[in-house]
Amino acid sequence: MPQIPMAAEGPLLTLDDLSIVFSSPDEADIVAVRQVDLTLRRGKTLALVGESGCGKSVTARAILRILDKSAAIPSGQIIFSPDDAEPVDIATLNPDSIAMRTIRGNRISMIFQEPMSSLSPVHTIGDQIDEMIILHERVTPKQARERTIALLDQVGIPGPRERADAYPFQLSGGLRQRAMIAMALSCNPDLLIADEPTTALDVTTQAQILDLLRQLQDDYGMAMLFITHDLGVVAEIADDVAVMYLGDVVEQGDVFDVFATPQHPYTRALMSSIPKMQRKAERERLQPIQGTVPSPKDRPQGCSFSSRCPVAFEPCAKVRPDPTRTGKQHRTRCHLIERELKPGEVIV
Amino acid sequence: MATDTMILKETQRKDRATGRESQWKMIWRRFRQHRLALVSLWIVIGFYLIAIFAEFLAPYAPSHYNSRYTYAAPQGIHLFDTDEQGNWGFRPFVYGYTTEIDQAAMRRTFVLDPDVKHRVQFFIETEPYRLAGFIPMQHRLFGVAEPRAPFYVLGADRLGRDLLSRLIHGTRISLSIGLVGVVLSLFFGVLIGGFSGFYGGWFDSIVQRTIEFIRSLPTIPLWLGLAAAMPRDWGALQTYFAITIILSVVGWTELARVVRGRFLALRTEDFVVAAQLDGASDYRVIMRHMVPSFMSHIIAAATLAIPGMILAETALSFLGLGLQAPIVSWGTLLQEAQNIRTLASAPWLLLPGVVVVIVILAMNFLGDGLRDAADPYGR
Amino acid sequence: MNDLIRVENLSKSFTLRRGLVGGLISLDALKDINLAVRPGETLAIVGESGCGKTTLGRCIVKAMTPNTGKVLYTPENGETIDLVGLKKRQMKPWRRDIRMIFQDPMSSLNPYMRVFDIVAEPLRIHKIAKGRELEDRVATALEKVGIDPAAGQRFPHAFSGGQRQRIGIARALVLDPRLVIADEAVSALDVSIQAQILNLLEDLKDDFGLTYIFISHDLGVVNYISDRVAVMYLGNIVELADTETLFERPRHPYTEVLLEALPIADPKRRAGKRTEARGEIPYIGNRPKGCPFHTRCRFAQDRCRNDRPELRKIDATEVACHFAETIELRGAYDSAPRPHISQKVSP
């Protein structure tokens, strides 16, 4: 019987008990991300959603090990299991090691909110993508350019042969984002990390880019980690969703489950903060969360949301709730749920 | 006392934590983290104090000479000695000289004579003078007791004048010329740059083209030309001011650019638009909303401009076209070190150059530190 | 009742120089805008970047001067004043009535002034109050927006984005205005904070009897807060209607595109692929001839390429489209998953 490699089963990426700490000489260490568990299924999209400062971008950067020098990963694992290679714990790799660079270049790509920050302003987009291809494959410059043009066409850039000779500043925001996506795809990644890729774009362009990413995911079969603050975008693109608040993943699960039956008070509050598309007669007043997000320095000792939670009770401020299963793939960190479940009971 | 300081520290910390800390306090806090700039600040303050109290600090007047001691070597100062009873203690003195005639070179050389000691006294009484030109005084910080004894801590020049005294007096001229020059530049720079940046339009175009023209002129020949046009018979004070004006002719352009740039950047800031929409007058918008946010930048730019002025003065005077003897500045002092042969026998005449280097470096570091600290919000 | 503000035939163009010695080119940011703001309403102006919505707002508050056209304001005494022609000094009294809230809470407050002084500044400029009274009025304004007046001695950097936006609102309100122009006032804020500010704006409107011009690109927010909506595209108003009418039955193809592009926080309503405008907004320097939207419109005909449609009234809607009567467009209130027509980016 042929041996199926272990790696081809199970999730592509698992974050297990991951914490990220920033230290500075003057002040106390800041725990930006604490004990996060995430799983990213092969070929699926996990959306990491939360407000500014919740640690979603830091988590993504930790996966690529492109955090600042002041950041450290004191605990946890980042297990990356590509189809055709041994699983590896990214958290233990040296950020500058060859192994890590290979992962960054060949296996995991990232696109950013502002394409200009990752495209060189002095080279044409064609040259930049050619270079990526030549770096990863043994091809002649001519073959590389053909691949580049095919890629640009695939990401929906009109007139790809001519546009390959354009400099980034000559393209509109939407086309630039497409060019960056083409560059990210040039190495055929197993995982694409998209950090707020549509936030700076107009709504119609955003819709186009979301459609494109979905299409490309079908074509390439890659998994995607999609970071956003916009629940609307999550609903459009995600298979799974993880809601972050102040360094904690407070709720995660299948996107349909989480949107249909949000369990954590923060997720619920977030959802009732967005105006619904309703007629005037049905309109309800928004139910915002009181107060503002505290800085990670002032994070409550227990549940990080307890200082603003409308339903907080005795243990919340002191004791940190463990993740509780609230559905098939659905897990929530909340004492209220722990209390409502009888010991040993598991929702299926 | 200690508790007072503690309370003060505590309120400062609280102010910072609660965001009550004002701009200048934040700048100062950030500036203090810049060690090199902090040290430089003290050096610069020290030199300006020397400039202010020059008559008191210098053992002699700058023109005091003694032809017996031309090119006398530096004596140095010895701080500790035994007194008549053989007790060792703080008793500063200098050695006297013996003269040797170098037959080959046909020249006198001075050799320190360990047998002759001249006591150095503090707050020694001398002929009356006016400190900074208006405070009548009769004492100097230090000097030798015997009026005819030689006292050349850093050596003497070709007329037997004390280099230390001349250096101290030169500090006053050189540092003040930098300062006055920058103040003049600042005045024109802020005025013209401000108008240019705030109102824009044709005035801005003319000013910018003028600045470009001035800056495209090679500065040294320009200064030389202007200095050469200066009437020879002008007195010391007139020459002094003429030189500051000549230096400012180029100096204002840099500052005008900085100011204009800040104005242009700020003019479209929302908070400036908000002030205009409040109905504030132009004057109020500028003085209350715009100037405070680039004041610190201007101070930093001005600090960085001073060394340029000092160097320019030094260069002009060195070439003989700036200040003229009897005015003593670092430039005129260095002028005496032009001759290689003199330098070979009296290398201490280069000391003004060393002082120039120290002061210029300190001012540059200070300016850098100010510039880095100038924007407390890191925008 | 008179309109509070009536914008008539307003046009604004910017001249840019191409290169150092190149010729001047003129960009039309606003072209022949006609718009009325009724007292007590919230009028939303929506559109994507470069559509001219911000320029229109700034022309109304007279932060910019339009090239042609009028901005007619009716103050409490009932006369009608054209703000465009006013000199600085003549404009000053009306600045008390017409106020603005800015988008970026970071840059709209002077970092070097204490919060108290920021809010007190308009009172001082208009010499309305001083001493004790000034302090009271500032304190009242801060309280109204939910900021503890005791925090007035702090500098803006000590506040979060949402709090700063509240301070900006206090500055607008301290003069008891009649019209407030909110330019993307909640766009830079996190969703939970955005909801707080939206509620605050609503409450203040009731308390002070305000009229809002709410400039935004976010149709979800616009549907929530506004009474009427003007949709702008490339410097033109393409559709103007009651909020409910516009969202229920859009008449302009561009409005439909905007509505469909809006991500809705419900995965069950996830779009397969959308109707989708093809391509991107043209650079404003190459405004297409004819209907500005024809390059991306799925209904475009020859006529659209040549004739510019005027804004005209169909039922309760004003719309600038030649075929507004005949085309069938989808509204945004349907809860069914949105069907799709495939898209291709055109050159």
Shortest distance, CA A309 to any CA of chain C (angstroms):
13
Asked, as a colleague might, if the bond just before B59 is cis with ω within 30 of 0, I would say no
Shortest distance, CA C29 to any CA of chain B (angstroms):
18
Question: Is any Cβ of chain A less than 8 angstroms from the Cβ of C248?
Answer: yes
Q: Look over chain C and give the mean of its residue pLDDT values, rounded to a whole number.
A: 87
The Cα B97–Cα C33 span in angstroms is: 95
Q: How many CB pairs under 8 A join B and C?
A: 71
Q: Which of A295-304, B65-74, C43-52 has the lowest mean pLDDT?
A: B65-74
- Selected for mutation to probe chain C from A178, A202, A257 (highest C CB count within 10 Å) is A202
User: At A275, which helix (H) or strand (E)?
Assistant: none
- Neighboring chains of C (3 or more beta-carbon pairs < 8 A): A, B
Q: What does the pLDDT average to over C307-330?
A: 91
β-strands A71-80, A13-22: how paired?
antiparallel
SS3 B272: helix
- Verify whether the Cβ–Cβ distance C104 to B270 is below 8 Å: yes
Least CB–CB distance from A270: residue in C192, C199, C219 = C192
- Selected for mutation to probe chain C from B277, B287, B298 (highest C CB count within 10 Å) is B277
- Selected for mutation to probe chain B from C14, C15, C83, C112 (highest B CB count within 10 Å) is C112
- Neighboring chains of B (3 or more beta-carbon pairs < 8 A): C
Q: Token pair of A333, please?
A: 């960190």
From the list B192, B234, C218, the residue with the least C-alpha distance to A274 is: C218
Question: Is any Cβ of chain C less than 8 angstroms from the Cβ of A158?
Answer: yes
Structure confidence at residue C26 (pLDDT): 77
Per-residue pLDDT tens for B141-154?
A: 777 777 777 778 78
Shortest distance, CA C305 to any CA of chain B (angstroms):
37
- Position A2 pLDDT exceeds 50: no
- Selected for mutation to probe chain C from A286, A290, A298 (highest C CB count within 10 Å) is A286
The domains found in chain B, sorted by start residue, are: 66-159 (no CATH), 167-373 (1.10.3720.10)
Least CB–CB distance from C61: residue in B277, B280, B284 = B277
- Position A1 pLDDT exceeds 50: no
Question: Is any Cβ of chain C less than 8 angstroms from the Cβ of A267?
Answer: no
- Position A342 pLDDT exceeds 60: no
Shortest distance, CA C72 to any CA of chain B (angstroms):
18
Per-residue pLDDT tens for A179-236?
A: 999 999 888 899 999 999 988 888 888 888 898 899 899 888 999 999 999 999 999 9
- Asked whether the beta carbons of A224 and C184 are under 8 A apart, the reply is no
Q: Structural domain boundaries of chain C?
A: 250-319
- Verify whether the Cβ–Cβ distance A204 to C244 is below 8 Å: no
Burial B165-203 (b: 16+ CB within 10 A, else e): bbbbbbbbbbbbbbbbbbebbbebbbebbbbbbbeeeee
Least CB–CB distance from B19: residue in C108, C122, C157 = C157
What does the DSSP assignment read for C141-174? Answer: HHHHTT--GGGGGS-GGGS-HHHHHHHHHHHHHT
The Cα C310–Cα C238 span in angstroms is: 9
Least CB–CB distance from B278: residue in C95, C104, C153 = C95
**ipTM score here?**
0.86
Question: Is any Cβ of chain C less than 8 angstroms from the Cβ of A51?
Answer: yes
Cβ of A201: how many Cβ atoms within 10 Å? 22
Provide the Cα torsion A140, A143, A147, A149; round to 10°: 120
Place of tokens 């955090």: A67
Q: Look over chain A and give the mean of its residue pLDDT values, rounded to a whole number.
A: 87
Per-residue pLDDT tens for A64-104?
A: 998 888 899 999 999 999 988 889 999 999 988 989 988 88
Structure confidence at residue B247 (pLDDT): 80
The Cα B143–Cα B120 span in angstroms is: 6
Q: What is the pLDDT along chain B (379 residues), one digit of tens a residue?
A: 445 555 555 555 556 656 667 777 777 887 888 888 889 999 999 999 988 888 888 888 777 777 777 777 787 777 777 777 777 777 777 777 777 777 766 667 777 777 777 777 778 777 777 777 777 878 777 777 777 777 787 878 777 788 888 888 888 888 888 888 888 888 888 888 888 888 877 888 888 999 999 888 887 787 778 777 877 777 777 777 888 888 888 888 888 888 888 888 888 889 999 999 999 998 899 888 888 888 877 888 888 888 888 888 888 888 777 777 778 888 888 887 777 777 777 888 888 888 889 988 998 888 888 878 876 665 4
Shortest distance, CA C310 to any CA of chain A (angstroms):
24
User: In chain B, whose CA is at the least distance from the CA of C115?
Assistant: B20
- Verify whether the Cβ–Cβ distance C263 to A158 is below 8 Å: no
The Cα A112–Cα A26 span in angstroms is: 31
Question: Is any Cβ of chain C less than 8 angstroms from the Cβ of B287?
Answer: no
- Verify whether the Cβ–Cβ distance B274 to C107 is below 8 Å: no
- Verify whether the Cβ–Cβ distance C194 to A273 is below 8 Å: yes
Identify all chain A residues contacting C202, using CB atoms and an 8 Å cutoff: 285
Per-residue pLDDT tens for C214-229?
A: 999 999 999 999 999 9
The values of phi and psi at residue A245, to 5°, are -140, 120
Least CB–CB distance from A174: residue in C217, C265, C280 = C280
SS3 C321: coil
Identify all chain C residues contacting A260, using CB atoms and an 8 Å cutoff: 268
Shortest distance, CA C47 to any CA of chain A (angstroms):
9
- Verify whether the Cβ–Cβ distance C223 to A158 is below 8 Å: no
Question: Is any Cβ of chain A less than 8 angstroms from the Cβ of C276?
Answer: yes
Structure confidence at residue B15 (pLDDT): 62
User: In chain C, whose CA is at the least distance from the CA of A233?
Assistant: C263
- Verify whether the Cβ–Cβ distance B20 to C107 is below 8 Å: no
Structure confidence at residue A19 (pLDDT): 93
- Which of the 8 DSSP states describes residue C21? T
Identify all chain C residues contacting A174, using CB atoms and an 8 Å cutoff: 280
The Cα A60–Cα A37 span in angstroms is: 13
β-strands C42-46, C98-101: how paired?
unpaired
- Asked whether the beta carbons of C146 and C204 are under 8 A apart, the reply is no
